Each structure stands twice: as structure tokens, then as C-alpha cells.
């Protein structure tokens, strides 16, 4: 089985995830749970409540019950695994946790979520303090929200909810970015990711800086770097955005884009084209058949902030995937 942590974090703020409600946030706000950055810690830093932690931390419970936080997934989808990361919580991590999930249309608030039908996707498990706590999930349904329950109280730095994005076809325009992580586009292979993971190219918005993109090491041979993207759905591609923003002394000199059909045929969509440093390029693509993957070759090496592939997706495929997610 593929390591589930390689899949997108559906709860991440980087995809629009957020905390809708937590029953207690006395020591530290539950909003920390979905921050994309790895948690940090500065010991002996005190605010008016106590030691400052980069995580969600409730007060010491003096009665029955347990604490919980409800999270809206930034990208709804099928959950393959969760990581309940207790980084830096040592004498105050919760000894046990469980996770529930639900699927609701629209934008429900705390009251509607409290009354929702929740499915227990992770029964109560023992946790280790100051550590990742990874658990695979076997439920094949599409969910929009999760609820983290901790027993009885304590601190959790991050909740990662890894899975496969399943977008609602009803909400997708005819032409959209079929490489976008928020719709299910995913890097499945690449030649080199020494300085930056290529999946960053598929994240929403413009890159913040040079660290927010794909960057390879300097090549000392005659080959070139490349990345292979599995599209959100089979699609006819129309435009490619190759954004070299922030890569000034290290943008690739040229690029080629190739589409790959379901039967493995390779279609040249963009012939070898010169790129400029620090430039958000848009290129019209050659008309071609429906492709399931796209391969970007850069010559010889360098960095790319964002890759967008605008195309017309196969609607039947998107609806079929939604239908498959009705059963556990
Ligand atoms: N030293 C602590 O971390 N104490 C307490 N927590 C905070 N944040 O101060 C506690 O009781 O868990």
C-alpha cells in the first residue's frame, strides 16, 4: 500500500481547511491544528494563560467527558489516513484520541455540525507524546468534515488528514485547472526534488517566495529534470501556466509539455519553448485528445513556482468517482 502521508492533507489551511468549533481552547487555539507548516516550539515562553504552544491545547479536565475539535476539510475527499501529531506536548498530550467524519452539503455551522450524522473512522487509539501518531483509514466514502476527539484533554500540535480529493462536479466550471491539488491533481513522479517538492506547484494562489515551489539541484549531466502529474480527471488541455516567479538565477531555460492518454500514447502539447526567469507565462496548447497525465520537462534543471493546466474535464468520469464514494 502507498504511504498515505504522500497524499494531500485535505484539512490543511493551504487548501482552505479550517476549524469550525472546539469545545475548549483554554491554553492554545485549535486553529493551529490545520497550519501547513511543521510545528515549532520555544521553551519558557509564557503568555497570560501559560506556556505558549504551537498547537491546540485544552485545560486540565476536572469532570467527566472529553474535548473535541471540528474541522472543515479544505478539499472534500476520501480519507486514507490521519496523523495526530503531538509534537512538543510531553507532560500534557492526550493519552487517547478518536476521529469521526461526516459529509454535508454547503457551509454548515457549529450547530448543524453538532446535529450531523457522524461516522467513527478511527476508533479510540492510544497516542504517544511529542510524536507523530499515524493511523490508516479504510473507509471509501467522501467526507467534508472531521471531528478530533481527545481523551480526556491535552494538546495536539497538528491534525493531518491525508487522502484523495474528490471535487463536486456540480461546482466545477467547464474549463478549470485540472492539475490543481484542490481538485485532485497530484504529482506521481519526478526526476529530482532536492530543494522543493513538486506538489507545491499545484497548490492554490501565487507562490509566496522561492521556497514555495518545485526546485531541483544543479544538473551536472546531459539529462533534464521532469515531473509527471496525474490530472484531477481525464481532460483536453487548452492552456498551461508555467510560472517561474521568484526563480531569478535558477529558472529553467526551456520547457516541453507532453500529454499522456489512458492508453499510454504521448502527445506533444507544448514544443520546446524558452522560459524567462521570474515570469508567470501562459501558453496556448496544441489541440489534442483527452489525456490522463501530463509530463513537464524542464531544461536542463531549475525551479518552477506554479504549474496550471487549464482544460475541459470528462464530466462522466467526475460523476462516476462521486458515485463510487457513496459506499464505505
Ligand atoms: N507547562 C505546561 O505546559 N503546563 C500546562 N500547559 C500550558 N500551556 O501552560 C499544562 O498544565 O498542561
Residue 19 maps to a domain:
yes
Examine the domain organization and report whether 110 and 189 are in the same domain.
no
- In the reported structure, the alpha carbon of residue 51 is separated from the centroid of ligand 1 by a whole-number distance in angstroms of 6
Q: How many CA atoms lie within 13 A of 227 on its CB side?
A: 29
Residue 325 maps to a domain:
no
Residue 328 maps to a domain:
no
Average pLDDT over residues 80-101: 98
Examine the domain organization and report whether 127 and 20 are in the same domain.
yes
Q: In angstroms, rounded to a whole number, what is the distance separating the alpha carbons of residues 117 and 132? A: 28
Examine the domain organization and report whether 78 and 144 are in the same domain.
yes
Residue 54 maps to a domain:
yes
Domain stops at, among 122, 140, 165: 165
Q: Tell me the helix, strand and coil percentages in the chain, rounded to 5.
A: 10, 40, 45
Examine the domain organization and report whether 126 and 183 are in the same domain.
no
Residue 327 maps to a domain:
no
95 lines ligand 1 (CB under 6 A): no
Which triple of cell numbers denotes residue 154? Answer: 491535552
Report the phi/psi class of residue 259: left, alpha or beta, with left for phi > 0 and alpha for psi in -120 to 50: beta
Atom of ligand 1 nearest to the CA of 92: 12
Residue 322 maps to a domain:
no
Average pLDDT over residues 112-122: 98
State the Cα torsion 82-322-229-288 to the nearest 10°.
180
Instruction: Give the model's pLDDT for residue 327.
Output: 84
- In the reported structure, the alpha carbon of residue 97 is separated from the centroid of ligand 1 by a whole-number distance in angstroms of 19
Residues 54-80: tens digit of each pLDDT:
999 999 999 999 999 999 999 999 999
Radius of gyration of the chain (CA): 21
C-alpha to C-alpha distances, 253 to 187, 189, 279, 295, 301, nearest whole angstrom: 22, 21, 12, 17, 8
- The string of DSSP letters for 191-237 reads S--SSB-GGGGGSSS--SSTTSSEEPPPP-SS--EEEEEEEEEEEEE
Examine the domain organization and report whether 278 and 258 are in the same domain.
yes
Q: Alpha helices of the chain — where are they, by DSSP H?
A: 110-114, 315-324
Q: In angstroms, rounded to a whole number, what is the distance separating the alpha carbons of residues 177 and 86? A: 35
89 lines ligand 1 (CB under 6 A): no
**Which of 294, 277, 100, 272 is CA-nearest to residue 190?**
294
Examine the domain organization and report whether 201 and 252 are in the same domain.
yes
- In the reported structure, the alpha carbon of residue 31 is separated from the centroid of ligand 1 by a whole-number distance in angstroms of 18
- Give residue 221's domain range: 172-315
User: What pTM, to 2 d.p., does this model score?
Assistant: 0.95
Examine the domain organization and report whether 140 and 204 are in the same domain.
no
Residue 1: pLDDT band with limits 50, 70, 90: very low
- In the reported structure, the alpha carbon of residue 133 is separated from the centroid of ligand 1 by a whole-number distance in angstroms of 21
93 lines ligand 1 (CB under 6 A): no
Q: Are 296 and 188 in contact (CB under 8 A)?
A: no
User: Probe ligand 1: pick from 27, 56, 150, 155, max atoms within 8 Å of CB?
Assistant: 27
Residues 27-47: tens digit of each pLDDT:
999 999 999 999 999 999 999
Q: What is the mean pLDDT of the chain?
A: 97
58 lines ligand 1 (CB under 6 A): no
Domain stops at, among 143, 165, 187: 165
Cis peptide before 152 (omega within 30 of 0): yes
Examine the domain organization and report whether 25 and 150 are in the same domain.
yes
**Which of 150, 159, 164 is CA-nearest to residue 132?**
159
SS3 (DSSP) at 308: strand
Examine the domain organization and report whether 310 and 235 are in the same domain.
yes
299 lines ligand 1 (CB under 6 A): no
Q: Are 88 and 33 in contact (CB under 8 A)?
A: no
Residue 108 maps to a domain:
yes
Residue with CA nearest ligand 1 atom 1: 51
Residue with CA nearest ligand 1 atom 10: 92
Handedness of CA 53, 58, 62, 66 (dihedral sign): negative
Domain stops at, among 146, 165, 184: 165
Residue 244 maps to a domain:
yes
Atom of ligand 1 nearest to the CA of 60: 11
Examine the domain organization and report whether 127 and 264 are in the same domain.
no
Examine the domain organization and report whether 103 and 9 are in the same domain.
yes
Instruction: Give the model's pLDDT for residue 110.
Output: 97
Residues 257-311: tens digit of each pLDDT:
999 999 999 999 999 999 999 999 999 999 999 999 999 999 999 999 999 999 9
54 lines ligand 1 (CB under 6 A): no
Residue 55 belongs to domain with CATH number: 2.60.120.260
Atom of ligand 1 nearest to the CA of 154: 12
Is the pLDDT at 2 greater than 80? The verdict is no
Q: In angstroms, rounded to a whole number, what is the distance separating the alpha carbons of residues 46 and 44? A: 6
- In the reported structure, the alpha carbon of residue 279 is separated from the centroid of ligand 1 by a whole-number distance in angstroms of 48
Domain count of the chain?
2
Examine the domain organization and report whether 212 and 296 are in the same domain.
yes
Average pLDDT over residues 246-253: 98
Atom of ligand 1 nearest to the CA of 46: 9
Q: What angle do CA 196, 199, 203 make, to 5 degrees?
A: 110
- In the reported structure, the alpha carbon of residue 131 is separated from the centroid of ligand 1 by a whole-number distance in angstroms of 17
Average pLDDT over residues 105-127: 97
State the Cα torsion 109-164-149-94 to the nearest 10°.
-140
Average pLDDT over residues 7-13: 98
Amino acid at each position: 500500500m502507498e504511504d498515505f502521508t504522500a497524499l494531500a492533507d485535505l484539512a490543511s489551511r493551504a487548501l482552505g481547511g479550517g476549524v469550525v468549533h472546539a469545545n475548549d481552547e483554554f491554553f492554545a487555539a485549535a486553529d493551529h491544528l490545520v497550519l501547513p507548516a511543521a510545528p515549532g516550539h520555544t521553551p519558557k515562553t509564557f503568555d497570560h494563560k501559560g506556556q505558549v504552544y504551537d498547537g491546540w491545547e485544552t485545560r486540565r479536565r476536572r469532570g467527566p467527558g472529553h474535548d473535541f475539535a471540528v474541522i472543515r476539510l479544505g478539499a472534500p475527499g476520501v480519507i486514507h489516513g490521519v496523523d495526530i501529531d503531538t509534537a512538543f506536548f510531553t507532560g500534557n498530550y492526550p493519552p487517547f484520541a478518536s476521529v469521526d467524519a461526516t459529509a454535508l452539503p454547503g457551509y454548515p455551522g457549529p450547530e448543524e455540525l453538532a446535529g450531523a450524522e457522524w461516522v467513527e473512522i478511527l476508533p479510540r487509539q492510544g497516542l504517544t507524546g511529542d510524536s507523530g501518531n499515524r493511523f490508516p483509514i479504510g473507509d471509501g466514502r467522501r467526507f467534508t468534515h472531521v471531528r478530533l476527539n481527545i481523551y480526556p484533554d491535552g494538546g495536539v500540535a497538528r491534525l493531518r488528514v491525508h487522502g484523495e480529493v474528490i471535487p463536486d462536479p456540480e461546482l466545477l466550471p467547464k474549463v478549470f485547472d485540472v492539475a490543481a491539488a484542490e481538485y485532485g491533481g497530484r504529482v506521481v513522479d519526478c526526476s529530482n526534488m532536492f530543494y522543493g517538492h513538486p506538489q507545491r506547484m499545484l497548490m492554490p494562489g501565487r507562490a509566496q517566495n522561492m521556497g514555495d515551489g518545485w526546485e531541483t539541484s544543479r544538473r551536472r549531466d546531459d539529462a533534464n529534470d521532469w515531473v509527471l502529474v496525474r490530472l484531477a480527471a481525464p481532460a483536453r488541455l487548452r492552456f498551461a501556466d508555467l510560472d517561474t516567479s521568484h526563480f531569478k538565477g535558477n529558472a529553467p531555460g526551456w520547457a516541453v509539455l507532453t500529454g499522456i492518454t489512458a492508453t499510454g500514447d504521448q502527445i506533444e502539447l507544448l514544443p520546446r519553448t524558452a522560459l524567462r526567469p521570474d515570469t508567470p507565462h501562459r501558453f496556448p496548447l496544441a489541440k489534442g485528445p483527452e489525456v490522463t497525465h501530463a509530463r513537464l520537462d524542464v531544461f536542463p534543471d531549475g525551479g518552477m513556482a506554479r504549474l496550471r493546466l487549464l482544460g475541459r474535464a470528462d464530466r462522466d468520469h467526475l460523476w462516476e468517482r462521486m458515485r463510487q464514494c457513496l459506499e464505505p
